Amino acid sequence: MTKTNQPIFPNPPKKVQGYHTYLPDQVQPVGSLLNPEVYKQNQDPPKLFESLTIRGVEFPNRVWIAPMCQYSSDNGKATDHHFVHLGSMAMRGWGNVMVEATAVVPEGRITPEDMGLWNDDQIEPLKRVVDYVHGVRGIIGIQLAHAGRKASNPAPWTLRQAIEEEGYKGGVVVGEENGGWPNNVQAPSAISFNQGNYANPVEITAEYIENLKKAFSDAVDRCKKIGFDYIEIHGAHGYLIHEFVDPLSNKRTDSYGGSLDNRIRLPLELAKLIREKWDKPLFYRVSATDWLEEELGPEKNKNDEWAWWGIEQTTILTQKLADIGVDLIDVSSGGNDLRQKVKVGPSYQLPYAEHLKKNVSNILVGTVGIITDPHQANDILEDGKADVILCARQALRDIDFPLEAALELGAAVSPAVQYERAWTRMVVKRDHVDKASHHHGVSEVQGEEGQKDSNGTSKKRTPPPEVHSSVP
């Protein structure tokens, strides 16, 4: 071969070592702040992009993915949908991604298509997802759950299609012929969530409770094999654990019913057994209120009895969870009583998170609920009302929300190397947030900034606006 004077680049591509296919190595976690000595706007970054370390696990920022049911599993096993769904979000700058509510027993699924972790066959499909997320330097956890009396239902779109296309008007209990378990729906008490529409549940026995604890324990062992970074216990939205703590759905007369101490016994036992065998972060999702003030009056009635589940009992439970060693309370609300009157609006669940932040010690607080604007999300953290923001529907509507938030708030964070040309307007060296001096990695003309308007003038995105206060 004839020698030439071509300029040869001598460096091989950096790749993820040990991954089963070629996977480019990320410079640093996607969505993490770039070097503040180089990107001076990061010397005083927005709180949304401050990292957070919990039990040795470093979350690169504080805008996280909340668990979202996908109703797309195959006998409890993750599918290609989950690989794409979760893997895609890991590439878009979220501080972590969380696997949806995952049943620890088959009858603990909401639908026959729910995720499960009750046998070893379900390990490998989830490990494939976790290995990829770790390969792109992401953080991933899982929410362990039991649906209780809201189990054996159809996926929402299956029900909608039956109604719209066939005029279906019946109940929502999936029969055995379609993979359901109508005669094995378990609940603290034999009280249907919606009589005549949902299942008539079986009251859980003492033996079932002991088996359930073992099922959670076995699921934790599988989480270790899979390699999850954290576990969240699902205690919200009218599912089994919420049903146990709530006096409206728990009418038991044994040690798991009646008094508040009895009603919160199961979640505390589960938290304790998981904490003893899991040394990574442990979260708990709670419904802070049933939203029943208008229907039933105060949370504690005139006879000094707890009438329904609300923020006062939630505060007591949360402090006990903190004392056990739960690291973060993920604050949501509602879902256990059809009479609820939810006052929906921007940040509508934030007051409950703020209350727990003020009144419970030694636990981090996450908040959810129509948080759709970068300034709104950042103001919540800057004002000390919560420690992290969790997004669900906003993530589905706008998967790039964290990177767009960084751009809007004037921070420079790392995009995925494969997508960096799309983010040249964000990854800019600035003396401060209003003055751009130099782009990182690729030139301006390779991004939108290099396009021309109708007059032939280069388009330039205006500097990020000043931070403003959000809706409380």
Q: Is 198 considered catalytic here?
A: no
* Catalytic residue (one of 132, 239, 256, 284): 239
Q: Residue 284: enclosing H or E segment and its boundaries?
A: strand 282-287
End-to-end CA distance of the chain: 71
- State the amino acid at position 54 in one-letter form: I
Q: Which of 266, 190, 276 is nearest to 231 (CA)?
A: 276
* Angle of the 123-135 helix axis to the 80-90 helix axis, nearest 10: 20
- Strand pairing category for 52-54 and 57-59: antiparallel
Of 60, 46, 33, the C-alpha closest to 383 is: 46
- Number of Cβ atoms within 10 Å of the Cβ of 444: 16
Is the Cβ–Cβ distance between 353 and 360 less than 8 Å? no
Please tell me the distance from the alpha carbon of residue 133 to that of residue 84, in angstroms, as a whole number. Answer: 11
Are 95 and 30 a contacting pair, CB within 8 Å? no
Residue 349's identity, in one-letter code, is: Q
Nearest to 414 by CA among 102, 199, 93, 141: 93
One-letter amino acid for residue 309 of the chain:
W
Contact 117, 223 (CB under 8 A): yes
What is the rounded distance in angstroms from the CA atom of residue 187 to the CA atom of residue 203? Answer: 5
Catalytic positions = 239
